[in-house]
Amino acid sequence: MIAEATLPSLCNEQDRSPSLPTDSARWAVSRSLAVESEATTSHLLEQEKDTQFDKADIVKVRTIDKQTASIDIGGSLKMLDQQWECVVVGRDDETIHCELHDLSDPDNESEYGEVFLTEFSEYDRPRLKEGAVFYWSVGRLREEHGQIRKFSELRLRPTPRISQAAQRRIAERAKKLNGIFQRSSPGYLPGQ
Amino acid sequence: MEFFNDPALATCPASDEFELMVFGPGCGECLVLHCGDQQWCIIDSCRYPRQNLPIALQYLEKLGVEPKTAVRSILVTHWHDDHIRGMATIVRQCSAARFNISGALHSEQFFHLVLEAEEANKLVKASSSASEFGEILEVLEQRQDPPPYSVEDGAMIYQNIQERTVLVQAISPSPETVRQTRTMLADRILADTQTRQFRKVGPNDLSVAVQVITVPAMPTIKMFGPKSFQTRR
């Protein structure tokens, strides 16, 4: 069974990661290879024949940060190539519309994308409302026996709860800030 | 930066020259205006890839202009990510400049959403522009003078008082848009706290559009922007 996901181009004009395709506006995602969990939907996009792991690749990839660029998961090594923070800005029956902010390189321009709701677990779908944030990570998974697969993963960000004390502090500060802004009226001439 | 190598661009305009520089990866994400008498205005901000300093400050530095005293007015036309990158640095460095935002965003509810998003960003890694705005608010809180302004249609962003040669005036947002936005923001504060978001506030109709009037017409206008836009007169 093949599901088609409409995802934005992986790289924009300013940034072209050597290890990723740059023209994949639409991806055919093999559902049969999908690895799903309650909060995570993963897709193993492509199985690479080359089982020789080249350590130099680790140096080439642009990392999110040194701690999370490669993660050892029980003998397998998960290497992130690129990661976006995606903010849901709209939703229709089948897709969500989102803004993508490149966490790998904040200098990259924000992009716009559409993702099928079926890419997410049933548990997560009701939570994908306007303002919800999820992460889209792409990279490579080196399995214990040396095989390397590319992966693409969508993970919904749990919205942090702000404590009541912090809420009170925020409300007071917002009131104070509102007071420091002066409202200019038409015809007012500020002294420069 | 490559274009700074052009000697014409690295020359500080004379006191009686008006200059408009248009920067941005797109077109017009940052405007730098010389309004005469070594007084400058900055409208919006952007950073070029792999550059920490916002382009406006890089340009002024190249000209040998001291932003602390020379920049007199800063305007954020609207709160879209590509127009505000590095704005907190500009506000911090240009301490004599008045900070202007759209009147539609001058509300306790909007500031509440910003601070809430900033608080959330402390708890999880995020790239929300709320942090940029939060930093600006922090600077403005500490700075007594000049006070920040919220502008509506007709408000003055800048006027060269001495020579009366340059006028930068807002022609939007309309008072009705401002009223509607405040109502919407108040509704949002009452909405589900799990998904309400600061970044969704700020469609183009809340933006500040400006007109720049030079009276009498100043002798030189330099413009610079992306190649497709580049024009010199």
* Contact yes or no for A107 and B49 at CB 8 A: yes
Task: Name the residue of chain B whose CA is nearest to A166's CA.
Answer: B119
Q: Which two tokens stand for residue A148?
A: 């390397």
User: How far are the Cα atoms of A54, A102, A148 from residue A47, in angstroms, in the given order?
Assistant: 16, 25, 7
Q: What pLDDT shows up at residue B89?
A: 94
**Hey, are the CB atoms on A182 and B115 less than 8 Å from each other?**
no
Residue A90, strand partner residues = A97
User: Which amino acid, A171?
Assistant: A
* B74-86 confidence digits (pLDDT tens): 999 987 777 888 9
| ipTM score | 0.78
Average pLDDT over chain B, rounded to an integer: 79
Region B94-116: mean pLDDT is 87
Q: In which band, very low, low, confident or very high, does the pLDDT at B128 lie, cut at 50, 70 and 90?
A: low
The per-residue pLDDT for A183 is 67
pLDDT at B4: 67
The answer to whether A108 touches A90, Cβ cutoff 8 Å, is no
The whole-angstrom separation of Cα B163 and Cα B178 is: 33
**Confidence check: pLDDT of A28 > 90:** no
Chain B CB within 8 Å of residue A68 CB: no
Percentage of chain A surpassing pLDDT 70?
A: 55
Interface test with A, best of B35, B116, B131 (most A CBs within 10 A): B116
- Asked whether residue B170 carries a pLDDT value surpassing 50, the answer given is yes
Q: What is the pLDDT of residue B91?
A: 96
Return the H-helix or E-strand segment holding A44: strand A40-47
Structure tokens at B217: 């017409």
Are B127 and A103 in contact (CB < 8 Å)? yes
Q: Taking the mean position of all CA atoms in its chain, how far away is CA B213?
A: 18
Q: Report which of A185, A171, A176, A134 is spatially closest to residue A155, judged by C-alpha positions.
A: A134
Of the candidates B132, B117, B133, B113, which has an alpha carbon nearest to the alpha carbon of residue A106?
Answer: B132
A110 touches chain B (CB under 8 A): yes
Cross-chain Cβ contact B155/A186 below 8 Å: yes
Q: Is B159 within 8 Å of A15 when comparing Cβ atoms?
A: no
- Average pLDDT rounded to a whole number, residues A93-117: 84
How far is residue B160 from each of residues B16, B148, B223, measured CA to CA in Å?
12, 18, 20
Maximum alpha-carbon separation in chain A: 74
A103-125 in b/e burial notation, b at 16+ Cβ within 10 A?
bbeebbbbbebebeebbbeeebe
Cα–Cα distance for residue pair A67/A129, rounded to 1 Å: 31
C-alpha closest to that of A175 among B108, B101, B109, B114: B108
Are A181 and B151 within 8 A, CB to CB?
A: no
Chain B residue whose CA is closest to A15? B49
* Confidence label for B29 from pLDDT (cuts 50, 70 and 90): confident
Task: Among A85, A171, A177, select the one facing B127 at the smallest CB separation.
Answer: A85
Please tell me the predicted confidence (pLDDT) of residue B92. Answer: 95
Compute the distance between CA of residue B213 and CA of residue A99 in angstroms, rounded to an integer: 36
| Cβ-nearest to A184 among B128, B155, B192 | B155
**Distance (Å, rounded) from C-alpha B57 to C-alpha B49?**
15
pTM of the full structure: 0.69
